[in-house]
Amino acid sequence: MVREPEDQDQLQSMVFAFFKEYRIARLLKQSNITKQAGVAVLDVFRAIFSLVFTQRSLNRWLKQSGGEGFGKDTVYRFLNSPRNNWRRFLLLLSAAVIQRISRLTSDDRADVLIVDDSLFSRSRSKKVELLARVYDHVSHKFVRGFRMLILGWSDGNSFVPLTFSLLSSENERNRLRGVEGSIDKRTCGYKRRKESMQKATDILFELLTQAQGMGITAKYLLFDSWFAHPATILMALKHSIHVVCMLKAPPKVHYEYEGRRMTLKELYSALKNAVDEQRSLLLSW
């Protein structure tokens, strides 16, 4: 779909308004995303940001528009710089968005943090840094790629992504490529590479700490059964947040209820009996 000139003007007007309202230039600077040479960072970022809404590739846009004074080398240098802290930028922007959404949200509504990981497949890649064999829970096979761990915020109506981590594998045998030796170890890009080789549950609480440090709070933390280990649940409580999840049922794991240690099956039966008793009492009234 090719946008008409008037649509292009309307799009650019909306993009400029968004950038002004959320002070994107300031957020970029706070995230160490600054001009290195030549074209201003804000102009490059605005052009890349607009591509999402025009449904055009970078190469096509460069051919049709002439690049607005810069070429693809400038764009690639901007995107690939290990100095740019994109995770901090997303967190700063998300915090500003949530602040505006919260004004419209009732205090009775429970806001939550949601964590999930998804497969980022790179089946044809061979030389990508830290490319790994990761398990696909859908196909039940190991594939080439990464796991994208994402932490988001929701009030039950809106969802805002907060921060993320692209994970390789903590098992060295599953990593097909290593880290390039030329990268500056002082940069956030190198720190993200080191982080990608850690356990997902450890990274989860690093992301949670960053979000809470930005003033983003929630009543509950939601995740699926893959994260539902007792140690993970206890660690969440130390971060002053309760957990909602589907529990696993390993026979050696016990839960305490009314002073008794129970397996998950026994706990479910006890709670079901308690609910049935309450229902009977209400019906008898």
For residue 147, pLDDT beyond 90: yes
Q: Cα separation of 125 and 68, whole Å? A: 32
**Sign of the dihedral defined by the CA atoms of residues 175, 177, 183, 189, in that order:** negative
Amino acid letter, 234: L
Grade residue 10 by pLDDT with cuts at 50, 70 and 90.
confident
Per-residue confidence (pLDDT) for residue 8, from 0 to 100: 73
Q: What is the DSSP letter of 171?
A: S
For residue 282, pLDDT beyond 80: no
* Residue pLDDT, tens place only, 188-230: 999 999 999 999 999 999 999 999 999 998 999 999 988 988 8
* Residue pLDDT, tens place only, 54-71: 877 888 877 776 656 778
For residue 244, pLDDT beyond 80: yes
Tokens of 87: 């995770």
* Residue pLDDT, tens place only, 67-126: 567 788 888 888 889 999 999 999 999 999 999 888 776 777 788 999 999 999 898 888
The answer to whether 203 and 87 have CB atoms below 8 angstroms apart is no
Phi, psi of 63 (to 5 degrees): -70, -40
The answer to whether 152 and 203 have CB atoms below 8 angstroms apart is no
Per-residue confidence (pLDDT) for residue 285, from 0 to 100: 64
Determine what percent of the chain is predicted with pLDDT higher than 70. 94
For the chain, the average pLDDT equals: 87
What is the CA angle 181-185-188, rounded to 5? 120
What is the CATH number that goes with domain 105-245?
3.30.420
Per-residue confidence (pLDDT) for residue 284, from 0 to 100: 67
Mean pLDDT of 37-54: 86
Q: Cα separation of 120 and 134, whole Å? A: 9
Lowest mean pLDDT among 69-73, 94-98, 157-161, 265-269: 69-73
In DSSP notation, 87-149 reads HHHHHHHHHHHHHHHHTTS-TTS--EEEEEEEEEE-TT-SS-TT-EEEEETTTTEEEEEEEEE
Instruction: Indicate the pairing of strand 220-223 with strand 112-121.
Output: parallel
258 Rama sector, left if φ>0, alpha if ψ -120 to 50, beta otherwise: left
Determine what percent of the chain is predicted with pLDDT higher than 90. 45
| The total number of residues written for the chain in this structure | 285
Residue bearing tokens 């999930």: 116
Mean pLDDT of 181-194: 91
For residue 29, pLDDT beyond 60: yes
Grade residue 4 by pLDDT with cuts at 50, 70 and 90.
low
